[in-house]
Amino acid sequence: MFARIYRINLKAGQADAFNEAVQQQVIPLLRKHNGFRDEIAMVSVDGKEALGISMWERQEDAEAYERTGFAEVSRILAPLMTGSGELHKYNVGVSTAHGTMPGKAAAEQHAAGRRL
């Protein structure tokens, strides 16, 4: 599994608008892309920063989204943010929400018929 973490600085008073935009516009766009698994969006307590974590089956799926869909998401979020965002990419080692575990632990869980 692969994750993209996008961090932005929000304009004052835009926390609710960010959450609404992600729920109403961004997630429906993400769902159109192969390999999309999940989106987690969060806003800092002071409302000045937001993170979006998208989870993908494979790195190649996330890269295809970057080439074909990320520009539209950026356009949606642009009125809510100051400056440009930061993008970080990660290989997911463990996720309880997605049943992802590294190597031996995953094999043991699978053999025992358990899912995280």
- Structure confidence at residue 109 (pLDDT): 47
Q: What is the CATH number of the domain that holds 30?
A: 3.30.70.100
Asked if pLDDT for residue 112 goes beyond 70, the answer is no
CA distance 101 to 69: 29
Q: Which two structure tokens, joined as six digits, stand for 82?
A: 């100051």
Q: Which two structure tokens, joined as six digits, stand for 38?
A: 């999940």
Tens digit of each residue's pLDDT (9 = 90 or more) over 15-71: 999 999 999 999 999 999 999 999 999 999 999 999 999 999 999 999 999 999 999
**CA angle at residue 85 from 44 to 41, to 5 degrees?**
40
Q: What domain range includes position 32?
A: 2-112
- The more confident residue out of 99 and 90 is 90
What SS3 state is found at 33? coil
pTM: 0.81
CA distance 104 to 109: 9
Asked if pLDDT for residue 4 goes beyond 60, the answer is yes
The DSSP bridge partners found for residue 90 are 3
When divided into structural domains, the chain yields a total of 1
